[in-house]
């Protein structure tokens, strides 16, 4: 498990991921770390159901869409 992101970094990351972003941009411009470390961080958010890899573009990540009941796509009750 990687070190949790500081709340301000997490907020910036999640705000930016409203649209798909390439892993290199996420690593260099948002997280200021290596691509490997950025992927490890993003995997944790994927496991929590917060973000997903874009189905249209490899190595692009985005927030999962919220449903009307407040759950994210693919999330069970």
Query: Can you give the CATH number for the domain in which 11 is found?
Result: 1.10.10.10
Give the predicted TM-score (pTM) of the model. 0.80
Number of domains observed in the structure of the chain: 1
Whether 73 is covered by a domain: the verdict is no
Question: How far lies 4's CA from each of 32, 38, 52, in Å?
Answer: 14, 12, 18
Tens of pLDDT, residue by residue over 2-56, are 667 889 999 999 999 999 999 999 999 999 999 999 999 999 999 999 999 999 9
Whether 47 is covered by a domain: the verdict is yes
Tokens found for residue 43:
């995997």
pLDDT higher than 70, residue 76? no
Whether 57 is covered by a domain: the verdict is yes
Whether 70 is covered by a domain: the verdict is no
Which residue has 């190595």 as its token pair?
A: 59
Domain membership of residue 46 as a residue range: 7-63
């Amino acid at each position: 498990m990687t070190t949790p992101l500081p709340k301000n970094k997490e907020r910036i990351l999640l705000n930016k991921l409203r649209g798909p972003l390439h892993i290199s941009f996420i690593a260099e411009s948002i997280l200021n770390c290596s691509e490997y470390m950025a992927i490890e961080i993003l995997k944790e958010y994927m496991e929590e159901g917060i973000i997903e890899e874009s189905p249209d573009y490899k190595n692009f990540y985005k927030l999962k869409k919220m449903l009307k009941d407040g759950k994210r796509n693919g999330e069970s009750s």
